[in-house]
Amino acid sequence: MDNYRQMSESQDMIDENAPETLRNLAYTPAFLRKHIGKLVRIEFLIGNTYLEDRTGILLEVGASYVVIRSIQDNNLLYCDIYSIKFVTITEQPFVYNPNFQFQ
């Protein structure tokens, strides 16, 4: 089992001393934690008007960041949670194959 899977499984058991933003579903980090392991498309606001998106498997959610594994190149992407504007969460089953290469 890889390290990120172990960490995400341990995230389900949040310490009572954890910040409120990680425990209360009214906050974005707590909401996103419920979707670890799912395919997501995250759109970030860059500057005042430019939206940039990234797609990958949601691996980890902290108080101020998310980590996704990019489906384009299998790299880890650490993302600032404060620039996130939209998150699309895929509810359909997704089988991740890190060896798959786009032609």
Specify if 26 maps to a domain: yes
Question: Whole-angstrom Cα distance, residue 61 to residue 19?
Answer: 12
The verdict on pTM exceeding 0.85 is no
Count of domains in the chain? 1
Of 66, 77, 81, 80, residue with least CA distance to 33: 66
Residues 68 and 42 sit within 8 Å (Cβ to Cβ): yes
> Average pLDDT in the 37-62 region?
94
More confident residue, 21 or 12: 21
Structural domain for 8, as ranges: 3-89
Residue 103 inside a domain? The answer is no
Residue 22 lies in a domain: yes
**Two tokens, residue 24:** 């209360």
Please tell me the distance from the alpha carbon of residue 25 to that of residue 22, in angstroms, as a whole number. Answer: 8
